[in-house]
């Protein structure tokens, strides 16, 4: 399910039309009947069959022989292409480069805008089979509702984007949200490594205090991160004028953000605090004598309810509930699962996630794939192709 953008430039307007038609048809049909694809795409002449075979060959749609009829379903690859195409039209993304992270439920790639600014593309992949949740997924796949992986991944992206916007507006240290489409978001690239990869800090107490203060500040804005750990905190080393090094954290990964009104809010708050305490103890041998922070104290003076604000924006209460239920049912537990596993095996370094990140970040030559249909095509020329 790795994103391969190589073929995107070979797709013609008819292919895009047929791909979009399949996506539209899959709102009501798990397997979209071929005549329906034809009807929605409404291409002149016999172009539909040719386009269907073009896009099926590169795995954007897959043929399914149903008991009643033959048809096609949109694949994750197809959805990726549609999202990228839209980002390209909106001029948020011009090219896609290395993969820098792979989680259980997402792929993270470096990409660039048409002005050459480096950005991050996060592709949500809820429903991806993970060895940790094989059983849950097996049941899930058997009972899968039409397009539910697509819908849930879209919800996760929407939620993450809305929260990133709200947090950024209030001055929280989060990436700059740039665009969202379908199951993807585009944000600024933070030039920093996850805290997990930092082995030494001069004085851990300042960073520790800052991170706990962030948990408290989030609560004062109505929110609990819910997955506040060393994978989701990027730490940048900044050199001050007097050569002092300060560590600047950026918080990422918001699909599991919970409101302070959530029935289990206190549990999530305490878990976030415990994650930081455990990491500082294990990694830097640092423990604080001060107890807390505590949920009740932190939420005594609430400054703003970003949880309520976000609900009133694009991400409704109903959507929040759907996503929450899905995540619980399918064992989507963010990075917490990975950390628990590691604790069991007493392993301090390594880990799959690190290996991927290191490899990608160490590569000298980024592999940049232009999304344009040919090397001479400008983004605006590409934009004019899509007529649906």
Per CB under 5 A, the segment of 46-54, 107-115, 272-280, 329-337 that binds Mg ion is: 329-337
By rule CB under 6 A, what string of x and - marks binding of each residue 30-69 to ligand ADP? ----------------------------------------
Return the closest-CA partner of residue 388 out of 46, 5, 154, 51.
Answer: 51
Q: Give the binding-site size for ligand ADP (rule: CB under 6 A).
A: 20
Q: Does residue 232 touch Mg ion according to CB under 5 A?
A: yes
Return the closest-CA partner of residue 355 out of 4, 99, 126.
Answer: 99
Per CB under 5 A, the segment of 126-134, 141-149, 246-254, 303-311 that binds Mg ion is: 246-254
Q: Does residue 51 touch Mg ion according to CB under 5 A?
A: no
Q: Does residue 272 touch ligand ADP according to CB under 6 A?
A: no
Determine phi and psi for 139, rounding to 5 degrees: -65, -40
CA atoms within 13 A on the CB side of 146: 12
Q: Does residue 333 touch Mg ion according to CB under 5 A?
A: no
User: d(Cα 256, Cα 334) in Å, to the nearest integer?
Assistant: 8
Q: What is the smallest separation between the CB atom of 320 and ligand ADP, expressed in angstroms?
A: 17
Per CB under 5 A, the segment of 82-90, 156-164, 166-174, 245-253 that binds Mg ion is: 245-253
The binder of ligand ADP chosen from 71, 77, 78, 103 (CB under 6 A): 103
What does the CA dihedral 340, 127, 89, 63 come to, rounded to 10 degrees?
A: 150
Active-site annotation holds for 227? yes
Per CB under 6 A, the segment of 36-44, 100-108, 294-302, 370-378 that binds ligand ADP is: 100-108
Q: Does residue 253 touch Mg ion according to CB under 5 A?
A: yes
First to last CA, the chain: 26
**Count of Cβ atoms closer than 10 Å to residue 267 Cβ:** 13
Contact 5, 371 (CB under 8 A): yes
Choice between 71 and 175, CB closer to ligand ADP:
175
Q: Does residue 172 touch ligand ADP according to CB under 6 A?
A: no
Q: What is the DSSP string of 301-361?
A: S----HHHHHHHTTS-HHHHHHHHHHHHHTT--TTHHHHHHHHHHT--S--HHHHHHHHHH
Which 3 state secondary structure label does DSSP give 257? coil
Q: What is the smallest separation between the CB atom of 124 and ligand ADP, expressed in angstroms?
A: 8
Which 3 state secondary structure label does DSSP give 60? coil
Name residues contacting ligand ADP, limited to 197-256 (CB under 6 A): 231-232, 234, 252-253
Q: What is the DSSP string of 64-96?
A: EE-SS-EEEEE-HHHHHHHHHHHHHHTTS-SEE
Return the closest-CA partner of residue 252 out of 112, 80, 363, 108.
Answer: 108
Q: Does residue 162 touch ligand ADP according to CB under 6 A?
A: no
Name residues contacting ligand ADP, limited to 111-130 (CB under 6 A): 120, 122
Q: Which of 14, 80, 107, 227 is catalytic?
A: 227
User: Residue 350: left if φ>0, alpha if ψ -120 to 50, beta else—which one?
Assistant: left
The binder of ligand ADP chosen from 77, 78, 101, 177 (CB under 6 A): 101
Q: Does residue 109 touch ligand ADP according to CB under 6 A?
A: no
Angle at 231 between CA 243 and CA 94, to 5 degrees: 85
Q: For ligand ADP, which residue has the nearest CB?
A: 103
Q: Does residue 160 touch Mg ion according to CB under 5 A?
A: no
Q: What is the smallest separation between the CB atom of 204 and Mg ion, expressed in angstroms?
A: 22
Burial class (CB in 10 A: 0-12, 13-18, 19+), 193: middle
User: d(Cα 24, Cα 32) in Å, to the nearest integer?
Assistant: 9
Choice between 17 and 196, CB closer to ligand ADP:
196
Q: What is the smallest separation between the CB atom of 184 and ligand ADP, expressed in angstroms?
A: 12
Per CB under 6 A, the segment of 74-82, 184-192, 215-223, 341-349 that binds ligand ADP is: 184-192
Q: Could you give the residue numbers annotated as active site?
A: 227
Q: Which residues in this chain contact Mg ion in the complex, by CB under 5 A?
A: 231-232, 253, 335
**What are the residues binding ligand ADP (CB under 6 A)?**
100-101, 103, 105-106, 108, 120, 122, 175, 187, 189-190, 194, 231-232, 234, 252-253, 335, 357
């Amino acid at each position: 399910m790795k994103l391969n953008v190589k073929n995107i430039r070979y797709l013609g307007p008819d292919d895009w039309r047929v791909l979009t038609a399949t996506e539209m048809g899959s709102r009501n049909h798990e397997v979209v009947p071929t005549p329906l694809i034809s009807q929605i795409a409404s291409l002149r002449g016999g172009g539909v069959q040719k386009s269907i075979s073009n896009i099926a060959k590169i795995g954007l749609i897959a043929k399914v022989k149903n008991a009643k009829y033959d048809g096609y379903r949109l694949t994750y690859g197809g959805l990726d292409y549609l999202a990228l195409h839209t980002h390209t039209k909106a001029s948020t993304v011009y090219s896609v480069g290395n993969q820098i992270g792979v989680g259980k439920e997402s792929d993270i790639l470096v990409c660039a805008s048409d002005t050459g600014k480096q950005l991050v593309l996060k592709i949500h992949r809820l429903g991806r089979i993970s060895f940790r949740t094989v059983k849950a997924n097996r049941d899930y796949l058997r009972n899968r509702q039409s397009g539910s992986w697509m819908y849930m991944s879209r919800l996760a992206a929407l939620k993450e984007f809305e929260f990133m916007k709200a947090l950024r507006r209030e001055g929280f240290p989060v990436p700059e949200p740039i665009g969202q489409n379908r199951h993807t978001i585009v944000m600024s690239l933070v030039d920093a490594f996850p805290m997990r990869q930092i082995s030494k800090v001069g004085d851990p107490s300042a960073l520790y205090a800052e991170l706990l203060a962030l948990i408290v500040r989030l609560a004062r804005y109505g929110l609990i991160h819910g997955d506040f750990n060393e994978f989701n905190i990027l730490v940048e080393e900044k050199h001050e004028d007097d050569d002092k090094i300060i560590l600047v954290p950026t918080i990422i990964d918001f699909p599991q953000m919970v409101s302070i009104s959530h029935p289990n809010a206190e549990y999530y708050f305490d878990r976030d605090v415990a994650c930081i305490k455990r990491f500082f103890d294990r990694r830097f041998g640092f423990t604080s004598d001060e107890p807390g922070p505590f949920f009740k104290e932190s939420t005594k003076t609430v400054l703003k309810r970003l949880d309520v604000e976000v609900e009133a924006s694009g991400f409704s209460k109903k959507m929040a509930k759907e996503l929450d239920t899905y995540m619980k049912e399918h064992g989507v537990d963010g990075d917490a699962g990975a950390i628990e596993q590691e604790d069991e095996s007493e392993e301090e370094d390594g880990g799959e996630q690190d290996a991927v990140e290191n490899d990608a970040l160490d590569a000298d030559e980024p592999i940049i794939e232009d999304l344009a249909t040919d090397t001479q095509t400008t983004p605006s020329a590409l934009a004019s192709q899509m007529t649906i």
